[in-house]
Amino acid sequence: MQNRLITCTLLLAALGGLSACNKNKGGKSDVTGWNYNDGKKSSGFYVAKPKDIKTGPGLVFVQGGTFTMGATQEDVMGDWNNVPRRVTINSFFIDKTEVANVHYREYLYWLENVFQDPQYEAVVKGAKPDTLVWRSELSYNEPLVEYYFRHPSYNYYPVVGVTWKQAYDFCIWRTDRVNEKELIDKGYQNQNVLKQELNGGGQDNFNTKSYLMGEYQGVPGKPKKNPLKDAQGRPRNTVKFEDGILLPDYRLPTEAEWEYAALGLINENPSPRRSEKQRGEELISNRQMYSWKNDGYDNLRATRKGNWQGAFLANFKRGNGDYMGTPGGLNDRSAYPADVNSFFPNGFGLYNMSGNVNEWVADVYRPTTNQDEDDLSPYRGNEFKTVDVSGGEGNLRDSLGRIKYVNENDSSLRNRFNYQRSYAVNFLDGDSLSSSSYGYGITTLISDKSRVIKGGSWNDMPYWLSPGTRRFLQEDQSSSTVGFRCAMTHYGAPEGAGSKHKTGNFFPTRRQKR
């Protein structure tokens, strides 16, 4: 069963290279000569046509590239935790807006119906946001405790009071609901499967990884036009990941991805490539302080002449006691969080990457991480896991219907050259190889549960609105100033796959000169 999971991973990584074996008009393998997708005359090996990953609901494509990660202004806090460093980010998807109250209430609705059995009471209760984060000993915020999350007036305001763990679980739920809908829409799962789930399905609910590993069957459907065939040429209604139907996982963005997306650097390049004959300049000419391009929007106010000249571009605290200006001249029109679609979008079309609420990212916080991390897709927080097969095949799911994982055994990694331990959260900064130690609660508030938050909020001064600034909060804590948005990995050509874009440069075929 573990090998089956590894096979899925390898095939996923190979999707970008399938174009090489699908160039023949007859769909033949370049290495064996056998036909693809021909169960009658060949082996029946099915190869999906190379195509771009479908953009999931709510997401925006972010073309990757290199940028200088870290501080863009004076380190007024004296933390030295964001020293500038050049890194490269691969292309990915990220939410256009922060996750809103209505989205999170949809999540709770699903949990309350699927896990309505009393044995799951802790599951439902543990997912609810902490509305008491609004309370303050010397401020009258009690109405927000009662109404901010529930009242329709705040439907599209960012959800707050959510811990990092709760945001992480939301991403898993979102992945499963999106993929379940894909299978139902294409006829590979019967519509009744959703009704069964919402009628107290409990453990037997759709989970993407459980489905791919054969641990979840659901109610198979009968697609009208089914290109999937088995080795005998018969229609196959069980989908594999390499069929190109299921989407990758929704997840929290890494700190580097979040910061790169916040800067919207695509606006620095006036002519992004749209064909092999048209390409932009490899140039980033300006350093941004906030999330907007330095062309009339290089401050916290709109500077171009027009109706919006002088209007604030973000929701933040201008100064002590000034959260939204004076009557008749409100500056950002919001004393607390604002609608997730409000204020000025950046170069990638993303809203509120500066201000409104801080956002959880995937990374574990360390002050000197930027000195240790890889310069390609940097991230701190890896825990390398493998499927828990102790229960045997058919019993790989936990009580929530998800595949059970355990950390890899370090003794089995001795012959590997790329990593030797499964727990890499404190690698080179807090482990036995480093000179750093963190006595949480004694000498520091930093621990292996400290997660990075980015972006600044409605209750923050402008310094924290700069994408390069960073703070942290424990993963099991929450705040009225912290929300989140989801991301998704993009596979294939970094410019966006399809007929116009490929990975690498392709030159006209010419005879080599000798």
Note down pLDDT in tens along the chain; length 514 residues.
434 443 444 344 444 333 333 343 447 888 888 888 776 677 778 788 777 788 999 999 999 999 999 988 878 787 888 899 999 999 999 999 999 999 999 999 999 999 999 999 999 999 999 999 999 999 999 999 999 999 999 999 999 999 999 999 999 999 999 999 999 999 999 999 999 999 999 999 999 999 999 999 999 998 988 888 887 778 888 999 999 999 999 999 999 999 999 999 887 765 555 555 556 667 666 678 899 875 554 578 887 777 777 788 899 999 899 999 889 888 889 999 999 999 999 999 999 999 999 999 999 999 988 788 999 999 999 999 999 999 898 899 999 999 999 999 999 999 999 999 999 999 999 888 888 888 888 989 999 999 999 999 999 999 999 999 999 999 999 999 999 999 999 988 888 755 466 677 666 777 767 6
The 3-state DSSP class for residue 466 equals: coil
Residue 303: CB atoms within 10 A of its CB come to 14
3's tokens: 């090998």
Question: What is the pLDDT at residue 12?
Answer: 40
Cβ atoms of 456 and 470 within 8 Å: the answer is no
Question: What is the pLDDT at residue 29?
Answer: 84
What residues are paired with 478 via a beta bridge?
A: none
Helix, strand, coil proportions of the chain in percent (round to 5)? Answer: 25, 15, 60
> 216-242 burial string, b = 16+ CB within 10 Å, else e?
bebeebebeeeebbeeeeeebbebbbb
Distance CA(10)–CA(157), nearest Å, equals 40
Question: What is the pLDDT at residue 137?
Answer: 96
Confidence (pTM): 0.90
Q: Classify residue 312 as exposed, middle or buried by CB count within 10 Å of its CB (0-12, 13-18, 19+).
A: buried
Cβ atoms of 466 and 72 within 8 Å: the answer is yes
Cβ atoms of 347 and 267 within 8 Å: the answer is yes
Please report whether residue 450 resides in a domain: yes
Please report whether residue 431 resides in a domain: no
Question: What is the pLDDT at residue 22?
Answer: 39
Please report whether residue 370 resides in a domain: yes
434's tokens: 């480093």
Q: CB neighbours of 316 closer than 8 A, spacing ≥ 6?
A: 300, 332, 354, 355, 456, 457, 458, 460, 461, 462, 465
Angle between helices 164-185 and 101-114 (to 10 degrees): 70
Question: What is the pLDDT at residue 71?
Answer: 85
Residue 244: CB atoms within 10 A of its CB come to 18
Q: CB neighbours of 32 closer than 8 A, spacing ≥ 6?
A: none
Question: What is the pLDDT at residue 512?
Answer: 67
Distance (Å) of CA 76 to CA 229, 419, 446: 62, 37, 20
Please report whether residue 140 resides in a domain: yes
Question: What is the pLDDT at residue 17?
Answer: 38
Please report whether residue 30 resides in a domain: no
Please report whether residue 439 resides in a domain: no
Question: What is the pLDDT at residue 359?
Answer: 98
Strand duo 482-483 + 405-407: pairing: unpaired
Distance CA(385)–CA(225), nearest Å, equals 38
Cβ atoms of 245 and 182 within 8 Å: the answer is yes
Question: What is the pLDDT at residue 506?
Answer: 67
Cβ atoms of 364 and 423 within 8 Å: the answer is no
Please report whether residue 28 resides in a domain: no
Question: What is the pLDDT at residue 296?
Answer: 52
Domain that holds residue 167: 59-380+445-489
Residue 126: CB atoms within 10 A of its CB come to 13
CATH number of the domain to which 196 belongs: 3.90.1580.10
Q: CB neighbours of 145 closer than 8 A, spacing ≥ 6?
A: 131, 132, 134, 135
Please report whether residue 3 resides in a domain: no
Over the Cα atoms of the chain, what is R_g? 25
CA-angle at 470, arms to 465 and 472, nearest 5°: 120
Q: pLDDT tens digits, residue range 112-152? A: 999 999 999 999 999 999 999 999 999 999 999 999 999 99
Distance CA(133)–CA(307), nearest Å, equals 37
Question: What is the pLDDT at residue 8?
Answer: 41
Distance CA(15)–CA(19), nearest Å, equals 8
Cβ atoms of 273 and 214 within 8 Å: the answer is no
Specify the number of domains making up the chain: 1
